[in-house]
Structure 1
Amino acid sequence: MATMSVNEWANQVIKQSQIDKYLINGKDFINEKEISEKLKLCKNNDKNYIRNIIEKSKSIETLTPDEVASLLNVTDNDLWEEMYEAGAEIKRKVYDNRIVFFAPLYCSNLCVNGCKYCGFRTNNKEEKRRILNMDEIKKETEFVVDEGHKRMIVVYGEHPLSDIDYMCESIKAVYDVKKKSPNGNGYGNIRRVNVNAAPMSTEDLVKLKNVGIGTYQVFQETYNRNIYKELHPFGPKSDYRWRLYALHRAMDAGIDDLAIGALFGLYDWKFEVMGLIYHALDLEKQFGIGPHTISFPRLMPASGTSFFSDTKYLVNNDEFKKLVTVLRLAVPYTGLIITARESPEVRDEVINVGCTQIDASTRIGVGGYSENNGKQYKEKQQFMLGDTRSLDEMIKILAKKDTITSFCTAGYRCGRTGDKIMGLLKGCVEGKFCKLNAVLTFKEYLEDYASPETKIVGEKVIQKEIDEISNLPFFKEHGLYNKLMDYYNKISKGERDVYL
């Protein structure tokens, strides 16, 4: 590496053989003509037809592309209201009434790519470049832990200085942090690190697997080839198929928790939803496992580019709610992530149609937790955030709506990943275990981090959950209620990180 230039490094990233092995007759799974035709032809707005699709989704069955296209083309407002209600119902059925929180940690904004919409692109002279060393990563992690977070997603630009060895070292540094909590007698630590990083080779992905990551996240950005080519003029990211099959390689490397997404605002939002569905279906077809989560970030302003102002594909709030709803119905078993890109008003609204994960106390500047006092600097981050509310504030808001916050990471340490968790999700069983672990991890948060007001409303939610658990046959038949209460009492006495 010492003798290899940045350009030389970038030129050796892509392994063509690791693309070709997934192609069928030289073709990938995105057929743009087919997608466009389905969006054009599947316009049956008959209420009974649409309601039959909704009922299929409620049975936790993945929808076909024709069915998804039909939902996207609904124009009847009453049907949309029924779809919103169905999205919320499916979410409760699969995931119960819980929300999982996480925090992002941006480790580096060095990048070799030229994405026209991104503040990190290598030719953006306004961006202030930085890569955190391991001590700085630990310092940032301490700030996140002090908020009460147990999950983190680490984010890297694509650059030789933030290569796979740096990633592995930084993940270990995050896991090394253990800090006494400000309240109570507990301690805080990150128990699960997810990764948002550039596509990499199967060999590098094995290294990522071995360091103990949770989910590996790569967004295609746009599934339209011509738009993709225009917006990614150079760098490894300019190769559409290298990115398209990033998660297939992850599966081959043994990483069985995958996250897909698209950046809405680069192209027509209905086309991108269809692209995500084809992506999910191909993962299911080739590996028997669909995506663990789907994300749907909207394009936001970034330093050094006018792309946000120039694009004709920006998604308005009404369209955004619709696309999230269709994703919830289309892939009913998967988690949906809504991030702090969105405003508080949008997040509070859209979370009701089926989102399962959100971030809070979010800072996306490199070094932004420990150094910027909560301020955003356009030239130091990838895009501008819409929601900077604290974790405690958001937990309190949700608790007042009888929603329990979960910091659970049990499934990943109990082997409930990949095909195992997919089966449990589709059978609406995983949510029951998550309900138990939500109670336990929320109790930890209330004891160790919550403000007095949040603790009061949070305790009411916990008691409501315990009352429900005590009356449900599933928990009685499997002896889980008594075990829950035993663990709950241990947490009350100061024990931490117990799970079912």
Structure 2
Amino acid sequence: MLQDTVADWVDEARIGAALESGRKEDAGKVREILAKALELKGLRLHDVAALAAVSDAGLLEEIFATARKVKEEIYGRRLVMFAPLYISNLCKNECLYCAFRRSNTGLTRRVLSQEEIAEETRIIINQGHKRILLVAGESYPGEGFKYVLDSIATVYSVKEGAGEIRRVNVNVAPLSVDDFKSLKEAGIGTYQIFQETYHRDTYAKVHVGGKKRDFDWRASAVDRAMLAGIDDVGVGVLFGLYDWKYEIMALMLHIAHLEERFGVGCHTISVPRMEPAMGSDMATSPPSPVSDADFKKIVAILRLAVPYTGFIMSTRETAQMRMETFALGVSQISAGSRTNPGGYADDEKFEASQFQLGDHRSLAEVIKDVSELGYIPSFCTGCYRLGRTGADFMDLAKPGLIKEKCGPNALSTFLEYLIDYAPADVAEVGERAIAQELDDMLPKTRRVSERMIEKVRSGRRDVYC
């Protein structure tokens, strides 16, 4: 089908017209849009354009305040935790912003064996993680795509005491429908792919070699994943390649396309900014740099536009920027990350990394810091094992019913972490955060949470509803 390989929904003329219509700042119109956003039904393309045009400090604060309300209403104080696991940095592509690109001879190339993947997994488990995002460069060793499938099986096979990885998400190159079916059969959670930029001319300028040059094949990857039955998908833009206002408008068109065709949009949106990468002048000096102020604006606007979509922020950003965006919309974060194959076992070697990290804190340090801010780190994977994915997840999320599951699950999995892995000072801070969260819960949800917490304290693990 043409739809499976051609992204004709990327309508640059439509994006341009919408941006032009919102160019003039209108305080009354902006406040109408913010009032609509509080209905938790999302925003239209022209609404997003109007918010993107705001520069007045007072109006910006109103946007941020509204985003905080929406984030609190839907997600409360939960922050989902995960760790990336890079299994290979082989790549056939020539992406000018990336250290993994084919011609970068200064990069140490490495493909992890299954034994090495198991060791990396053990280290991640012993940090306390339950979720992994498995990442590979866009080329595989001799066994081809089977290498990825074998790696997923290896991750799931590792058991460390009571610890295990309960969910593997995957970020790999675009696949055919048949290969996506194999990925689903491997038991993944979310398939994640970044378009990098939705602007065709810019895309062509920065992708100068390899299969990734094909804009449409990449932009249509999510369609093929969903046709294969993977109903939790994640998309993203690498902010800094082109005008951020255009990119968030294109994201809106992508989501609208998925909703029209499949009845449900993406499960997550990632919001990475370009960071320095070894051997890339472009990564050090982005073509369209995004300021900290605009970055926070991006997060807030997207939270209002797609209120039920999870937002992921990686350790590309500094600890300070990550903390500032939690309240504005971010709902998932990585912690204790390494972006080079074998980086957990040999954490002094970063010459094989894809990009420079901004947040070097360990998982325990992140847990302590976010708990002191009143957030509840969540290691929950319940929805994926109970089939609450895709449209079924949204059917619970939009009426607000998912909070009755996510709240208790967050507390039970957080308590698991505190008992099994946390240093004493982190456990003390975490216990206070749990007590405060229980005090703020509705009576019914609190009763469910307390029953689950008691099971964890008595020695049960993997307690979820």
Give the TM-score, by structure 2 length: 0.97
What is the Cα deviation at residue 44 of structure 1? Answer: 4.4
- 1:169 counterpart (139, 150, 153): 150
- 2:81 counterpart (89, 95, 101): 101
What is the Cα deviation at residue 482 of structure 1? Answer: 4.2
Q: Alpha carbons of 1:340 and 1:376: their partners in 2 closer, same or farther (altered >3 Å)?
A: farther
Q: How does 1:218-297 map to 2 (within 5 A)?
A: 218-297=193-272
| One-letter code aligned to 1:485 | E
SS in 2 for 1:193: strand
What is the Cα deviation at residue 432 of structure 1? Answer: 2.5
> How far apart, CA to CA, are the structure 2 residues paired with 1:279 and 1:341?
24
SS in 1 for 2:365: helix
> How far apart, CA to CA, are the structure 2 residues paired with 1:306 and 1:402?
40
What is the Cα deviation at residue 399 of structure 1? Answer: 1.2
Q: How does 1:388-427 map to 2 (within 5 A)?
A: 388-427=360-399
Once the two structures are superposed, residues 428-453 of structure 1 have per-residue CA deviations (whole angstroms, 9 ceiling, x without a partner) of: 22122100101100110111011111
Tell me, yes or no, if the aligned pair for 1:142 and 1:177 is still in contact at 8 Å. yes
In the other structure, the counterpart of 1:210 is: 185
Determine whether 1:432 maps to 2:404.
yes
In the other structure, the counterpart of 1:348 is: 323
> How far apart, CA to CA, are the structure 2 residues paired with 1:484 and 1:164?
42
In the other structure, the counterpart of 2:40 is: 60
> How far apart, CA to CA, are the structure 1 residues paired with 2:286 and 2:446?
54
Once the two structures are superposed, residues 75-131 of structure 1 have per-residue CA deviations (whole angstroms, 9 ceiling, x without a partner) of: 221111111111111111111111011000000000111111111111111111111
Once the two structures are superposed, residues 181-210 of structure 1 have per-residue CA deviations (whole angstroms, 9 ceiling, x without a partner) of: xxxxxx211100000111100000000000
What is the Cα deviation at residue 164 of structure 1? Answer: 2.5
> How far apart, CA to CA, are the structure 2 residues paired with 1:448 and 1:344?
25
> How far apart, CA to CA, are the structure 2 residues paired with 1:260 and 1:349?
22
> How far apart, CA to CA, are the structure 2 residues paired with 1:288 and 1:41?
28
Moved over 6 A (4+): none
What is the Cα deviation at residue 234 of structure 1? Answer: 1.9
Once the two structures are superposed, residues 312-363 of structure 1 have per-residue CA deviations (whole angstroms, 9 ceiling, x without a partner) of: 3111111111111111111111011111001112112122211100011111
Determine whether 1:191 maps to 2:156.
no
SS in 1 for 2:83: strand
Tell me, yes or no, if the aligned pair for 1:22 and 1:28 is still in contact at 8 Å. no
- 2:452 counterpart (487, 491, 500): 487
- 2:422 counterpart (444, 450, 474): 450
SS in 2 for 1:28: coil
Once the two structures are superposed, residues 433-484 of structure 1 have per-residue CA deviations (whole angstroms, 9 ceiling, x without a partner) of: 1001011001101110111111111111111222333xx25x2xxxx55443
User: Which blocks of at least 5 consecutive residues in structure 1 are unaligned?
Assistant: 1-16, 181-186
User: Which blocks of at least 5 consecutive residues in structure 2 are unaligned?
Assistant: none
Q: Alpha carbons of 1:442 and 1:55: their partners in 2 closer, same or farther (altered >3 Å)?
A: same
Tell me, yes or no, if the aligned pair for 1:94 and 1:429 is still in contact at 8 Å. no
In the other structure, the counterpart of 1:299 is: 274
In the other structure, the counterpart of 1:4 is: none
> How far apart, CA to CA, are the structure 2 residues paired with 1:449 and 1:75?
45
> How far apart, CA to CA, are the structure 2 residues paired with 1:27 and 1:300?
28
| One-letter code aligned to 1:444 | E
What is the Cα deviation at residue 37 of structure 1? Answer: 2.2
- 2:160 counterpart (172, 179, 199): 179
In the other structure, the counterpart of 1:21 is: 3
SS in 2 for 1:446: helix
Once the two structures are superposed, residues 56-83 of structure 1 have per-residue CA deviations (whole angstroms, 9 ceiling, x without a partner) of: 2221112111110000001221111111
Tell me, yes or no, if the aligned pair for 1:224 and 1:267 is still in contact at 8 Å. yes
> How far apart, CA to CA, are the structure 2 residues paired with 1:57 and 1:166?
44
Could you tell me the percent identity over the aligned residues? 44
Tell me, yes or no, if the aligned pair for 1:262 and 1:296 is still in contact at 8 Å. yes
| One-letter code aligned to 1:261 | G
- 2:96 counterpart (116, 125, 128): 116
Once the two structures are superposed, residues 145-198 of structure 1 have per-residue CA deviations (whole angstroms, 9 ceiling, x without a partner) of: 111001110001111427321111101111111112xxxxxx211100000111
| One-letter code aligned to 2:144 | D
Determine whether 1:387 maps to 2:359.
yes
SS in 1 for 2:150: helix
SS in 1 for 2:209: coil
Q: Alpha carbons of 1:483 and 1:352: their partners in 2 closer, same or farther (altered >3 Å)?
A: closer
In the other structure, the counterpart of 1:321 is: 296
Q: How does 1:8-47 map to 2 (within 5 A)?
A: 17=1, 20-22=2-4, 28-47=8-27
**Which range is displaced more, 203-212 or 294-303?**
294-303
- 1:336 counterpart (289, 311, 323): 311
- 1:70 counterpart (16, 33, 50): 50
Tell me, yes or no, if the aligned pair for 2:277 and 2:284 is still in contact at 8 Å. no
